[in-house]
Amino acid sequence: MSDVTADRLQSFGTTIFTEMSALARRTGAIDLGQGFPDVDGPSEVIEVAARALREGPNQYAPARGAGELRQAVAEHQRRFYGIELDPETQVQATVGATEGIAAALLGLGNPGDAVIVFEPYYDCYAAGPAMAGLTRRTVSLRPPDFGLDVEALRAAAMSDPADSDDRRPARFLILNSPHNPTGKIFGRAELEAIAAVCREFDLIAICDEVYEHLAFDAEHVPLATLDGMAERTLTVSSAGKTFALTGWKVGWVTGPAPLVAAVAAAKQYLTFSGHGPLQQGIAHALAMPDAYFDGARDALRGKRDRLCAGLSAAGLDVLRPQGGYFATVDIRSIGEHDGRAFCRDLPERAGVVAVPVVAFYDDEAVGLPLVRFAFCKRDEVIDEAAARLAEMRGGS
Ligand SMILES: Cc1ncc(COP(=O)(O)O)c(C=O)c1O
């Protein structure tokens, strides 16, 4: 049968993560492609969920999410950021951050509305708007420092810089900090500039903060805490990265009640509700003492340092991440220029899988020489991957 996929999804194909993970399985290479830890999160959290599986609740959770989870999310936002939320009306549980972002776009967007995304972008910031019938306007973050170009952002807010016919202001901005894939943490001055553009153009900000607890070198500041932003910001997060439980797909969206109600309106017809027993586990996880959050961050910082040292030793120019799960390199330092071809050949050449960052850029010329490696892996796995990369260099 010919390709029957809907037109709006034609350009997306299989995600780069699926493609690269399949390559890792086929070749037996070390998978530093997809961002999942190779050690599961806290056993006490798994135990709480296991108990809920054995003893219930095992029937549909409320559409807004288990009360315990909504309460825990509200308490978490107050404890870490001083954000006050009503768990009844300002918290929506979702099936991962991915569903939260999709539900926000579907619940608030009208066909043709424009969404500003910073590139490189997490891939669902392209597919999500497409599924909701929205258009994407990208603003490039360029290596080596991935700094914010405020003028480019203002231009994108006013009208589509790439389409002279589209003179409408944008309606949404998606911000991801700490950022995948670069590990950039948007600093306060950059956030102030973004907030000013949101206020000037009346944008709704959708903030993906799934790496909020993995900020190593700079403070993570939620955009919602800046002046005039609480009423126009939806904050999206999830348990996967913070608690090394990416397979659970427990996420949440918080913000002003009318915006959260619009998210809920879409979410109820996507999945209705999430996984009740797992929501119990994450309600427990969110209330763990500071020592857990500090320990998880410090352990990941150590892995960041380890992988970056290994990549540098292999001759790769590392664009050092400030947070998150990933380190990006510029392969021109080893005489290569095409990250896509490099990643396709890497399992064969070195027995390692990485992801070409160009998959997250509309402007291919900027992203082509960049390659992303995940460091959320056991130390011996990181060391072995680094050794293989160094050997490849030595042997090439
Ligand atoms: C920036 C970003 N947002 C969202 C997600 C997905 O989150 P979830 O698994 O909670 O849907 C990821 C996973 O890699 C991510 O990197």
Domain boundaries, the chain: 7-41+291-395, 43-289
Is it true that 7-41+291-395 and 43-289 share their CATH fold? Answer: no
The predicted structure's pLDDT at residue 20: 84
Structure tokens at 186: 């948007």
Instruction: Choose which CATH entry (3.30.750.24, 1.20.1250.20, 3.90.1560.10, 3.40.640.10) describes domain 43-289.
Output: 3.40.640.10
The predicted-structure confidence for 229-257, as pLDDT tens digits, reads as follows 999 999 999 999 999 999 999 999 999 99
Query: What's the gap in Å between 13 CA and the centre of ligand 1?
Result: 18
Distance in angstroms (rounded) separating the CA atoms of residues 377 and 61: 33
Q: Which helix (H) or strand (E) holds 45?
A: helix 43-55
Atom of ligand 1 nearest to the CA of 325: 16
Peptide bond into 289 cis (omega under 30): no
Ligand 1 site, CB within 6 A:
35, 96-98, 122, 176, 180, 208, 210, 238, 240, 246, 249, 251
The alpha carbon of residue 394 and the mean position of all alpha carbons in its chain are separated, in whole angstroms, by: 34
Query: What's the gap in Å between 238 CA and the centre of ligand 1?
Result: 8
- Mean pLDDT in residue range 356-370: 95
User: In percent, how much of the chain has pLDDT > 70?
Assistant: 99
Distance in angstroms (rounded) separating the CA atoms of residues 87 and 72: 9
Query: What's the gap in Å between 291 CA and the centre of ligand 1?
Result: 24
* CATH number belonging to domain 7-41+291-395: 3.90.1150.10
Calculate the CA dihedral of residues 10, 11, 12, 16 and round it to 10 degrees: 140
Range of 7-16, 156-165, 240-249 with top mean pLDDT: 240-249
Query: What's the gap in Å between 241 CA and the centre of ligand 1?
Result: 8
Tokens 């608030």, residue? 108
Ligand 1 pocket: which of 92, 95, 98 to mutate (most atoms within 8 A of CB): 98
pLDDT band at 163 (very low <50, low <70, confident <90, very high): confident
Distance in angstroms (rounded) separating the CA atoms of residues 8 and 127: 9
Query: What's the gap in Å between 247 CA and the centre of ligand 1?
Result: 11
The predicted-structure confidence for 16-46, as pLDDT tens digits, reads as follows 878 888 888 888 899 999 899 999 999 999 9
Ligand 1 pocket: which of 18, 69, 122, 253 to mutate (most atoms within 8 A of CB): 122
Closest protein CA for atom 14 of ligand 1: 35
Closest protein CA for atom 16 of ligand 1: 180
The predicted structure's pLDDT at residue 395: 58
The predicted model scores a pTM of 0.97
List CB contacts of 82: < 8 A, sequence separation 6 or more: 225
159, pLDDT greater than 90: no
The predicted structure's pLDDT at residue 393: 75
Tokens 């509700």, residue? 273
Give the SS3 label for residue 205: strand
Atom of ligand 1 nearest to the CA of 98: 11
The predicted-structure confidence for 48-78, as pLDDT tens digits, reads as follows 999 999 999 999 999 999 999 999 999 999 9
The answer to whether the beta carbons of residues 257 and 74 sit under 8 Å apart is no
Ligand 1 pocket: which of 15, 18, 32, 180 to mutate (most atoms within 8 A of CB): 180
Angle between helices 16-27 and 339-350 (to 10 degrees): 20
Cα angle: 186, vertex 192, 198; to 5 degrees: 105
Rounded to the nearest 5°, which phi and psi values hold at 20? Answer: -75, -35
The answer to whether the beta carbons of residues 377 and 354 sit under 8 Å apart is no
* DSSP, res 95: E
Question: 65-74, 159-168, 299-308: which range is least confident on average?
Answer: 159-168
Query: What's the gap in Å between 265 CA and the centre of ligand 1?
Result: 22
Torsion 183-363-237-158 (CA) sign? positive
Ligand 1 pocket: which of 210, 235, 271 to mutate (most atoms within 8 A of CB): 210
Write out the DSSP string of 268-300: TTTTSS--HHHHHHHHHHHTS-HHHHHHHHHHH
User: In percent, how much of the chain has pLDDT > 90?
Assistant: 89
Structure tokens at 251: 């996420």
Distance in angstroms (rounded) separating the CA atoms of residues 32 and 21: 9
- Mean pLDDT in residue range 144-167: 91
Closest protein CA for atom 1 of ligand 1: 180
396, pLDDT greater than 60: no
Distance in angstroms (rounded) separating the CA atoms of residues 183 and 167: 33
The answer to whether the beta carbons of residues 190 and 175 sit under 8 Å apart is no
